[in-house]
Amino acid sequence: EDQVTQSPEALRLQEGESSSLNCSYTVSGLRGLFWYRQDPGKGPEFLFTLYSAGEEKEKERLKATLTKKESFLHITAPKPEDSATYLCAVQPPRGDFGNEKLTFGTGTRLTIIP
């Protein structure tokens, strides 16, 4: 069974204090790993897709990296507007229906203190 574990559950940082969020996964033949941002009362918002170990993607203060067992979301010099819950999801190999069964982690709730 595919599993996704995110850590820590919650993280409080001072504005400008860089850190990393972790997403570890167990899935046979990963097709893609996704990062989403979710603000309170809103739906998840797509950030990145990573497909292979060693791949990196960046967007403003965020950088996502992928290894064979985990992914990291690095946040550099965060601002209060980066406060949100960050979700990780994995997509297994394609099956008969394209296998759209994304498995999500429970998220990391990030708070940036001004």
And the tokens for 57? 């993607």
Residue 11 within binding range of other proteins, rule CB under 8 A? no
Residue 34 within binding range of other proteins, rule CB under 8 A? yes
What minimum distance in Å lies between the beta carbon of 14 and other proteins? 27
Residues 21, 108 contacting (CB under 8 angstroms): yes
User: Among residues 105, 108, 110, 112, which is the contact residue for other proteins, using CB under 8 A?
Assistant: 105
Residues 23, 8 contacting (CB under 8 angstroms): no
Q: Which stretch binds other proteins (CB under 8 A): 14-22, 61-69, 70-78, 97-105?
A: 97-105
User: Is 57 exposed, middle or buried, given 0-12, 13-18 or 19+ CB atoms closer than 10 A?
Assistant: middle
N-terminal to C-terminal alpha carbon distance within the chain:
41
What minimum distance in Å lies between the beta carbon of 87 and other proteins? 7
Residue 87 within binding range of other proteins, rule CB under 8 A? yes
Residue 7 within binding range of other proteins, rule CB under 8 A? no
Q: Is the dihedral of CA 85, 59, 92, 4 positive or negative?
A: negative
Q: Which stretch binds other proteins (CB under 8 A): 21-29, 36-44, 57-65, 66-74?
A: 36-44
Q: Which 48-67 residues touch other proteins, going by CB under 8 A?
A: 49
Q: How many chain residues bind other proteins (CB under 8 A)?
A: 23
Distance, in Å, from the CA atom of 31 to the CA atom of 71, rounded to the nearest integer, reads 14
